[in-house]
Every structure is written in structure tokens, then in C-alpha cells.
Amino acid sequence: MASKFPPGWEKVPGTDPPNSGQGFVYQVRRIGSSEKFALKRLRNPDNPRRSERFSREVAAMKELYGLGVPVPKVEADDLDADKPWFIMPWYPDGSLQKLIGSQSRRLDTLSRLRLVAKIADALALVHQQGLAHRDIKPENILLNGDQILLADFGLCISIEDARLTETSEIVGPRLYMAPEHESGISEEVDQRPGDCYSWAKLAWAVIAVRNPPAREAVLEEGKQLHRLLGDNRLLGMHQLFERILVIDPRARLKDWAAIQGDLRHTMRLFDENQEESSSGDRSFSEALLAASQIGSTEEAVERRLKQARTERRRRDTNRIEQILADEIGAQLGEDLRSLNEASRYEVSASIAGGGPSFPALAEVYDFGLSAEVEIEHYSQHSNPQAGLYLTWTMPGDKNPNQHGFSIGIYVITQGDSFRLIRTPFIYGGPAMEVREIAPGSIRVSEPLPLGLASAERESRLFAQESAEFFRTLLTRFLLLIRGGKNPNDAENWE
């Protein structure tokens, strides 16, 4: 009977092969040697997709090991065997999962921070090669003393490669999985932001010494690290997680240099000897400690959390405004240029931001917004960033293009939701006027959640509908202008 192990290798007596995702892992050794290795064998070699992943795992490990990335060395492999296999070192310290949970190894917070920083360093190197791991979880981080190694690259993918998973196939571990992977469908070619999301969940688990809750629940008040562990020095980690654990991968912090900088700052707060040994000045160390204590008061923590929430909401609001402007431009840009050229610019139709601030608008029209939730100040005083304009000259006018009509779209943010408000402006008379010149001119959306892809889709649909509405109004306006009638006169619409 042929041996199930490669020539020159044998199974270590008394060991059983645990499952490892797409294969079995045996503890083996070279015949005549006591040094232990791990042999990983593909479980379903007849499955083309699993076979491709297995081959990719070996190729990725070889490439990354050669570039100095902390991954296990491939000692030997045979991918053409009936049951493909490869051999790597055996790490008796196990995986990072040993440091999570009630039975975890005792380790102080600074040591845990250093571990997650090393994982961040390793992932930064992987991403520099244009690769995404896509399966970051404690079981796939091996421990070797105080060093870590990234393992299980079966789902690893180049940002330029075709998808390795079916659109219905879920990618990665559920507790650590990025939201865009939950359905197995990702519109993003670059999947590296998903690794950043998984790293943040893993970092929370390592520092909190427990498995993380689902999705972004680690950001909830009772689960914020500095509150959970009663140590305000960890506030910076919560603020970092707020920037990474963002639903939209495009808005997610994925700059490893920024992530590593925040980690180093937090570690300095825990390393009591670092500043003193580097400065050699005990008085300055005491000043640093006092500064840290001032910045760690409950009031200071709440102030910074509020600032972080405001900044996140402002960033998400700005993104919606840009989506609206881009979508309207895509829908009407070429048509409006054609219209202007056809009229020899006697009529001028354009797309631009601008218009009155929302408080000025609310003074002349009640949009029915709830007064229970305060409008964010940056939203309250902003002008519409997406607008459609039409100017024209009537017979007998002394000044060209002195009559105008526009439709502005406002993004009004209240807490973690926003509304889209479309309203017309009529100008050219003694004062600007807000008037529903045609049914549907004024439209207020339902509250939409900031930061969600579904809200972005609704915003695009709102912009498309507004562009089509403006297109319809243009026809009526131009027919009235051609007939010598001013479209801004309400009686001409009766």
C-alpha cells in the first residue's frame, strides 16, 4: 500500500489531521529527524475552483516569503499530485485564537497592541504587492514566539484578477467579514479595503480578549474599548475603528501608514518607559503623563467622539452631494450643451452648484422637516451642490439673460440620516421666489441612512428623476419663450 505522505516524510506519531478550510493538515517530519512540519493536503482535488485556490495559496506564500513578508516558508510542494499538497514549518504556539476568549493566555494590553500592529505591518506589505488576503481571522494568524505570520492564502486575490468566488458564495469568516462580502458579491475590483475592515474587528477581539460582536457593533457605547476595559488610553483605538469600520469600502480608511501612526500613538500611552528613555528627562515624562491624563478625562473623550461623529457625517454628506452632481452631469451634460448651441446661446442651460442657504429657503417655504433632530450646522448653512439653471432674454429686455429659473438639490443631514430636497428658484423679478411652478417641482425624500450603499443608490435615482423633470420643464419653458411669454409668470402656466 502506497504511503499517503511524500517520499522522505512521515506522520508524527500520535497526531491527527485537523480540518483547515479547503484541506487537511498533518503534523509530519522528515524520516530520521525530529523537527516538525505541517503538511497541508487538498481535500477535494476534483473541484476545479478549490484546486485553483490551493495552487494560488502556494504561489502567494512563495512570492510573499521571497519579498520578506511574514508568511510561512513553503518547504516542499507537489501541485500536480492526485491529492495536491505542500509542506511548511509547524508552529507549536498555535494561532492568535489562543489569545481570545476566557481561556486565553494572559497578556498585557501593550503586548496585545504590539501584536495587532505587527499584523497591520504584514497586511500593509501584502497590499503593497497588489494582493488582498480576504480571509483575515485569528485562526489564520500564526504565532511564533512574539512574532506573527499570515497564513491560509486560499482566498488571496490580485486586484487585477478575475473573481475566485461565485457571486453567491460568501467570502471570509462571518465575525470578521467586511459587509461587502456578506452576500459574496462585491462591485469593487480592489478588495483590499475588506482586509482593513477584518483587521479592525480582529484588533478589537485581541485587545478586548473576546470574540467580537457582529458587524460594526464594536462601535456601540457599551462595546467601545476604552469603556469596556475602563481605560481611556484606548480612546484612540475606538476613533481608529470608527474610520475603518465603515460600511462603504470606498469611504473606509485603508491607508496603512495612517493606521500604523494611530497605533504607535496609542502604544506610547501604554509604554511607561518609552518617553523617559528616549528623552532622558524625567520632568518631561511627567509632563507627557499629565497631558495624557488631561486628554483622557470623560469630558475630553466625549468631545473628541462628538467631533469624530461630526466629521464622519460631514464626509458622508459631501459624498452624497458629489454623487448628485456627477449623476446630473451624466444625465444632462451633453443635452444642455446641444440646447445652448442650437439657441446660439440666447438661452443658456447649465449644471452648477450654488443658490440660497437652507435657512433662507426655510423662511419662505415649510419643507416639513422634524424639529426633534437638529440639522447639522454644516448642512444647515450650505448651498446646494447640485443645481440646474436656465436663463433667457425676453423681447424688449435691455440686459441679456436677465430672467432665470433653477432647480437646486439640498442634502440636509440630521443625525445619522439625511433628506434630499429639490426646490425651484425663480429670479429676475424684484426678489428670488420659491414656487412649485409645476406639480412635483418641490420634492422631499424620506430619511436616508448616511454611509449605506442603499442610500447612495436612492440618491442616484433622485438625481436621475430630477434631471428628467428638468428636461420636461425645459420643453415647456422654451415653447413659452418662443411665443413671447415669460415662463416665470404663473398665469402662463394656467
Residue 447 to residue 357: CA distance in whole angstroms: 20
Helix axes 192-208, 109-128, angle to 10 degrees: 170
Three cell numbers at 339?
Answer: 440646447
111 is a domain residue: yes
384 is a domain residue: yes
- Displacement of CA 207 from its chain's centroid (Å): 22
N-to-C CA span, the chain:
96
Reported as a single tens digit per residue, the pLDDT across 45-93 is 777 777 887 888 888 888 888 888 899 999 888 888 888 888 988 888 8
CB atoms within 10 A of CB 482: 10
Residue 100 to residue 116: CA distance in whole angstroms: 13
Half-sphere exposure of 397 (CA within 13 A, CB side): 18
Same domain? 330 vs 352? yes
pLDDT of residue 432: 63
Instruction: Check residues 438 and 482 and name the one with the higher pLDDT.
Output: 482
pTM for the complete prediction? 0.57
CB atoms within 10 A of CB 476: 14
pLDDT of residue 168: 35
Three cell numbers at 371?
Answer: 424639529
Residue 204: pLDDT over 90: yes
* CA distances to 354, 364, 434, 438 from 431, in Å: 17, 12, 10, 20
H/E element holding 255?
none
Nearest to 447 by CA among 422, 414, 424, 480: 414
**If DSSP codes are grouped into helix, strand and coil, which group holds residue 78?**
strand
Residue 362: pLDDT over 90: no
26 is a domain residue: yes
Write phi, then psi, for 46 (nearest 5 degrees). -80, -10
CATH of the domain at 240: 1.10.510.10
Nearest to 115 by CA among 228, 270, 252, 273: 270
List the single range of 19-23, 25-29, 77-81, 184-188 with lowest mean pLDDT.
184-188
**If DSSP codes are grouped into helix, strand and coil, which group holds residue 421?**
strand
Cβ distance 242 to 223 under 8 Å? no
Residue 70 to residue 147: CA distance in whole angstroms: 9
pLDDT > 90: percent of the chain: 15
Nearest to 336 by CA among 493, 478, 479, 436: 478
Domain count along the chain? 3
Residue 371 to residue 414: CA distance in whole angstroms: 10
Same domain? 209 vs 337? no
144 is a domain residue: yes
Reported as a single tens digit per residue, the pLDDT across 95-148 is 888 888 766 667 889 999 999 999 999 999 888 888 888 888 998 999 988 889
Our CA angle for 20, 21, 25, nearest 5°, is 25
Residue 215: pLDDT over 70: yes
Q: Among 44, 67, 90, identify where a domain stops.
A: 90
110 is a domain residue: yes
* CA distances to 9, 206, 210, 243, 252 from 225, in Å: 47, 11, 11, 15, 20
Same domain? 23 vs 66? yes
Cβ distance 264 to 110 under 8 Å? no
34 is a domain residue: yes
pLDDT of residue 113: 94
In 189-297, which ranges are continuous DSSP H helix?
Answer: 192-208, 225-228, 235-244, 256-270, 274-279, 282-295
| pLDDT tier for residue 438 given thresholds of 50, 70 and 90 | confident
CATH of the domain at 64: 3.30.200.20
Domain carrying residue 33: 17-90
**If DSSP codes are grouped into helix, strand and coil, which group holds residue 36?**
strand
